[in-house]
Structure 1
Amino acid sequence: MLALSHEAGFKTVTAISERRHEESAKEETKSPKEILHLEALILFSHNKKDEALKLLSKESLDYTPAWMQERPDNIQDFFDKMTIALLSSKPQKLAFLGLFDSLGIKDANQFLDEISKAGIEKDLAIKKQLLEVLKTYETHKLSENELISYKIFLWFLENEAASEKFCFHPFRINQLNGTLQNLMEAFTEFHKLEVLEDFENYLIKLKALPHQVQEAMDLMSYQKTLRIIPPTMVLIKSANIAIEMASPVEENIFYKTFAEALKRGKFQDSSTWIAKLEAILKEKVIPIFEELKSHCLDLVKDSDWNSGASSLPDGKEYYASRLRFHTTTSHSAEEIHALGESEVVKIHKELRELLAEEGFSDENKSVCELLQLFGKQKNFYFSNDSVGREKCLQKFQAILDRSRVFFEDYFDKKPSYPLEIRPVPKEKEEGAPGAYYYQPSLDGTRLGSFFANLRNMKEMPTYLMPTLTIHEGEPGHHFQLALQSEINLPLFRKIGEYTGYVEGWALYTEKLAYEEGFFEINADKIGHLTDELLRAARLVVDTGIHHYKWTRDKAIDYLSFATGYELSASVTEVDRYFVLPGQACAYKIGQLKIMELREKAKKELGSHFDIREFHNAVLELGAAPLEILEEVIHDYISKIKKRKLSLV
């Protein structure tokens, strides 16, 4: 087997294992047809659809591109090929990106990801060997844009290599964003059901579902031998989701998705398709989810309600690596904890002043108590029924429409992809956050989607809705991520997901809205500060759980005290932090960094500072580690200074 090095040649699309025997490597080699499909995908991602379609017209059995055997001299080609290497074993990610459908490659949507122990090890081996190749390029020969791409990819690969010892620490089965949620999305959100071939592929993929669930259970069993067991509430909530996914056939989410699409298509012989679906659900899908439910509940006896990252093997080091991964900074847990405490105090002071203006000024009451009193006003809530939920969605749309007009002069680059506002699917409500966003497919056939969790309308007061719309919609997530997918970047940067940047940007736009007067009434300003308070409190709670070994109850109590959140909302938040160590810290860290860079640009550029140019510099980079964003903004400031001098 060829090593991925400059001397030995270049063979990325073969799924290179961790130096296994040659016969194992041979089994993992991509077929010429698969290679051709992936090559076409790269062309399409560069807006070269005609070239991609022309390539697909070739006789695929004879297709062997030159880059299979040699290292590209052009680093842009390397970026494309390494992206293929990383995506070729992730059919669910490819379906999410929405590239193959646009090229008429239907059979690519028959498969699910490999999530086994061997698959995780193989993926890590590919990344380590890609790192070897990347380091062979001479950076002084790269263009400015190539160097930025190099630094981003280097950061990613070095971080992955440094975290190798923790590759089995994450909980793949959880209530928030693991295998269960990914499977649900693979079948209900990201699998088009338009022509008969789509339905056939759906059934083929559904037959493969039990294998992936079994891989997840096998992985959980292996993790148990390493003393890595999810917290008790994670297991219980995951078991509840498995019960939902094992619903009787006609109530099952997979059945409803398939049957409703089949009915819309008005296909002949639909009863035959339904019979096939029912058989797969009864014989394969429902039994495996029932088994998963039992597997989760069996682990409960060995679990603990309070097991944060520090309770895992090498736990504090693991948590430090997750903070590094999510915040993309070198801040320690102690620094982040202290920052959170100071931010909470600052925001409490601002809130107390605004609450006093609204008649809530009892000095004997904490900010938490005042927020709870403020939040009990009935006029802030829609009815907890279908009528109330529909009115809520309409209000979100009205806020979005107003934001587009309000921010017109703050940005001169805007995404062309539209945004839709949807309720979180019933099957996902229990473990889902208050809202989340899905970016559009790269081909534009799937819209950007802002999902609002309407499980309990008491958790969606109207004064929180403007900030939520800014964060998830425009100019927050949709604005940034949709634009990122449209601008001319290598594919790996189009799909980059650096939490500190992505969530930091969304939180920055909330603050921008607050500073510039988008929130017109005190209630909406209080709503904004309440959300910002949550992000500050997260710094304290996340580090409290995972570094200082707080109990779940202590974390819930602190979050409720700091934010005024109802108990149910605090429980959902805290249980999320147990699943994703460090992730919740990225929001505030990213926001503060972007604001720091904006103030630096304002100070150094004076009257030559243009908010639109600053936003261009941030957005045109696309998602990246914050330390690289800082370099880019420093370069932007230098260029504006030079331009200013040239005009003197």
Structure 2
Amino acid sequence: MIAFTRRTLLAAGAAAAACPGWAAESEAARLDRFFAACFQRRVSRDPLSQTGLGLKSGMDRWPDTGEARATEDAAMARKELAELATFDQAALDPARRLSCAVFAYDGAETLKSYRWRGNRYPVCQMRGPQRTIPQTLINNHPIRDRADAEAYVARLIGVKPYLAGIVAGLERQAAAGVRPPAFSYPLVIGNCENLLRGAPFGGDGDSPILADFKGKIAGLGLPDAVHAKLVADAGAAMREGFGPGFRLLIDWLRASQAVMSHNDGVWSLPDGDAYYLAALELETTLPLTPQQVHQTGLEEVARIQAAMREVMKKTGFTGALPDFFRHVQTDPKFYYPNTVQGKAAYLDAMRGRIAAVEARLGEVMTRVPRGKMVVKPVEPWLEKSAGTAGYFAGAPDGSRPGILYVNTVEMRNLPRYALSSLSFHEGVPGHHLENAISQELTSLPSFRRHGGYTAYSEGWALYAEQLPYAMGLYDDPYQAFGQLSEELMRAGRLVVDTGVHHLRWSREAAVDWLDRNTANGHADNITAIQRYIVTPGQATAYETGKLKMMELRSQAEKTLGPRYDQRRFNDALLGNGPLPLALLDETMTAWIAGGGKPT
């Protein structure tokens, strides 16, 4: 992920195949080569992107997190933007001109992120090496042969210098007056300590990483002596590299707790107000002010609560909306048992809802991706700090499916009435559908297929939650209430995110606002506010993106009249891959003006 809104690049462009020399090329061909070269250059500098590609190169290394590398990346962005300016836009077709606009936006975004790099929390409960390292090794690092296994071992050894570099960066930030908020320390420390439980560090069983390594090499059919050596090497690498690296991070975090910050909003950081304004723009991709975002949130909350009251009547419940909130929060019938069987039943029910919408996807769009998806519980080492659910993209070549992770640590956080909307948001027709389609748009340059914007991807997922209404898949009032409760929470984020970071609300005041205005439980609201505090602006992108897409749909329905086809509209929303919202508006407005034809 590049700063605030860019997802980690996961695949290189096949478009860099051999072609005639630069001098003999058309402007279009020269531009295509430029985009491919830029994308490959970025991937070559990031071992994690190379691992996502399935490339052997980089599988034994971690990224360079030093200040010099950040400065080099910014210089590279400036150079690329200067070269982009040399292309004759008049000689390009509309699709390539759009790619130029996206590339220019991305470059400017990189430079803005560089400007504010010192204010961003690189280690907190929502991100950091305590997540990146195990997720890379377990989810993305395949072991297909001995060389892959040896690269895995090399990465285990490399954890110590990698984390030493991250700690050095934390020291620089602390010297400038930037430290993570107080509540994040025990959560991060807990994640780190979970990775150091089990062999080779002591305790019962294997540690999560050693268990992953052993499981992956078990099916290689290696000679016994080679197998034994690899296991021994992995154990030694964990004792000498992995373990000491994480203990270094743990020690720094514990020492920092003595002088930790108790201010929750980023207004307390150096140039905090300006930083938050930049964060809002980077996350929403629009030049919105905190006041605008806050007011929109209040208006959306009122609208959604009115819709909830209508749904509440259909359930037969009599009373005020806050009473209904308490009813669904406290009645055991709305929750699966917090047992192994209850958790398995919940995951099976999610798979069933996703299968149901997949079977009828043709009713709302014609684009159906080839990429597959699986539903899994969040790993035990991450449960206590992870959110409710999250989607991780699959490999572009289909070798690794997309994964919908669900945090089943506490089933009270997973009400039955929200199961459908959560399945549709994270899976199909939400994140998995959008991501898989984007990866398969081979006519686009690679940087567009494999990039992303929070406002676009989360906006689509929230918009997509509503598509199954037309299929009849919200088949009782409580499921409809669940969808509205999820939407209400996203609208509430506009209020509390700006409340904490701009209006200087305390964490407790923000939690209290959610308690009074949403259907979420108190513990869930505490976790939510802690997330918004360490990722300023990010939570505002969901509703902002959805509102833009709903605005465009309304415009299409009004302009096209009987020619409007929701399948074509949804295809068009996804047909250009991820876009900043202003560019999405331009492309969709042009599509509508052109008669809403198939894309």
Deviation at 1:90, TM superposition (A): 1.0
Query: Residues 257-311 of structure 1, C-alpha deviation per residue, up to 9 Å, x if partnerless?
Result: 1112222334222222111111111122112212211211211222223332211
- Identity %, equivalent residues: 28
User: Would you say the 8 A contact 1:326–1:586 is kept in 2?
Assistant: yes
The one-letter amino acid of 2:534's match is: V
Cα distance in 1 for residues equivalent to 2:155 and 2:237: 11
**1:523 alignment partner in structure 2:** 478
Q: State which drifts further: 303-312 or 546-555.
A: 303-312
The one-letter amino acid of 1:384's match is: N
**2:399 alignment partner in structure 1:** 445
Query: Residues 326-378 of structure 1, C-alpha deviation per residue, up to 9 Å, x if partnerless?
Result: 11111111110011111111211221232233243224xxx334212123222
Question: Structure 1: which 5+ runs fail to align?
Answer: 1-37, 56-64, 101-105, 644-648
SS in 1 for 2:404: strand
Deviation at 1:573, TM superposition (A): 0.9
User: Would you say the 8 A contact 1:418–1:447 is kept in 2?
Assistant: yes
Cα distance in 2 for residues equivalent to 1:336 and 1:166: 21
User: Would you say the 8 A contact 2:187–2:385 is kept in 1?
Assistant: yes
224, 232, 236: which is aligned to 2:174? 224
**1:501 alignment partner in structure 2:** 456
The one-letter amino acid of 2:284's match is: T
The equivalences for 1:477-496 within 5 A come to 477-488=431-442, 489-496=444-451
Cα distance in 2 for residues equivalent to 1:627 and 1:115: 32
**1:386 alignment partner in structure 2:** 340
Deviation at 1:99, TM superposition (A): 4.1
User: Would you say the 8 A contact 1:115–1:216 is kept in 2?
Assistant: yes
1:537 pairs with 2:487: no
Cα distance in 2 for residues equivalent to 1:71 and 1:91: 33
**2:108 alignment partner in structure 1:** 158
SS in 1 for 2:400: coil
Q: State which drifts further: 277-286 or 598-607.
A: 277-286
The one-letter amino acid of 1:304's match is: S
Query: Residues 111-150 of structure 1, C-alpha deviation per residue, up to 9 Å, x if partnerless?
Result: 1111122222221221122111112212222111100100
Query: Residues 587-612 of structure 1, C-alpha deviation per residue, up to 9 Å, x if partnerless?
Result: 00000100100110111111111112
**1:191 alignment partner in structure 2:** 141
Deviation at 1:449, TM superposition (A): 1.1
Cα distance in 2 for residues equivalent to 1:467 and 1:406: 16
The one-letter amino acid of 2:127's match is: N
User: Would you say the 8 A contact 1:514–1:528 is kept in 2?
Assistant: no
SS in 2 for 1:108: coil
Deviation at 1:236, TM superposition (A): 2.1
User: Would you say the 8 A contact 2:48–2:58 is kept in 1?
Assistant: no
**1:115 alignment partner in structure 2:** 65
User: Would you say the 8 A contact 2:364–2:467 is kept in 1?
Assistant: no
Q: State which drifts further: 268-277 or 323-332.
A: 268-277
SS in 2 for 1:564: coil
The equivalences for 1:252-331 within 5 A come to 252-268=207-223, 269=225, 270-331=227-288
The one-letter amino acid of 1:78's match is: F
User: Would you say the 8 A contact 1:450–1:472 is kept in 2?
Assistant: yes
Deviation at 1:642, TM superposition (A): 9.7
Cα distance in 2 for residues equivalent to 1:93 and 1:563: 39
The one-letter amino acid of 1:412's match is: T
Question: Structure 2: which 5+ runs fail to align?
Answer: 1-8
Cα distance in 2 for residues equivalent to 1:641 and 1:359: 42
**1:86 alignment partner in structure 2:** 42
Deviation at 1:404, TM superposition (A): 1.3
146, 150, 175: which is aligned to 2:125? 175
The one-letter amino acid of 1:230's match is: P
User: Would you say the 8 A contact 1:114–1:212 is kept in 2?
Assistant: yes
Query: Residues 81-103 of structure 1, C-alpha deviation per residue, up to 9 Å, x if partnerless?
Result: 1112222211112212x342xxx
The equivalences for 1:449-598 within 5 A come to 449-488=403-442, 489-514=444-469, 517-598=472-553
Cα distance in 1 for residues equivalent to 2:266 and 2:472: 40
SS in 2 for 1:93: helix
User: Would you say the 8 A contact 1:109–1:201 is kept in 2?
Assistant: yes
**1:144 alignment partner in structure 2:** 94
Q: State which drifts further: 321-330 or 248-257.
A: 248-257
Deviation at 1:42, TM superposition (A): 4.7
1:209 pairs with 2:159: yes
**1:14 alignment partner in structure 2:** none
Query: Residues 399-442 of structure 1, C-alpha deviation per residue, up to 9 Å, x if partnerless?
Result: 01111123322111110111111111111112211111111111
Query: Residues 432-466 of structure 1, C-alpha deviation per residue, up to 9 Å, x if partnerless?
Result: 11111111111110001111111111111111110
**1:75 alignment partner in structure 2:** 31
Cα distance in 2 for residues equivalent to 1:247 and 1:557: 36
SS in 2 for 1:219: helix
1:128 pairs with 2:128: no
Query: Residues 39-79 of structure 1, C-alpha deviation per residue, up to 9 Å, x if partnerless?
Result: xx856x34x9xx79xx9xxxxxxxxx977xx9987111111
User: Would you say the 8 A contact 2:158–2:242 is kept in 1?
Assistant: no
SS in 1 for 2:297: helix
1:636 pairs with 2:595: no
Cα distance in 2 for residues equivalent to 1:71 and 1:580: 44
SS in 2 for 1:110: coil
User: Would you say the 8 A contact 2:591–2:597 is kept in 1?
Assistant: no
Change (3 A) 1:259 1:163: closer
**CA RMSD, 1 decimal:** 2.3
More contact order relative to length (CA 8 Å, sep ≥ 6): 2
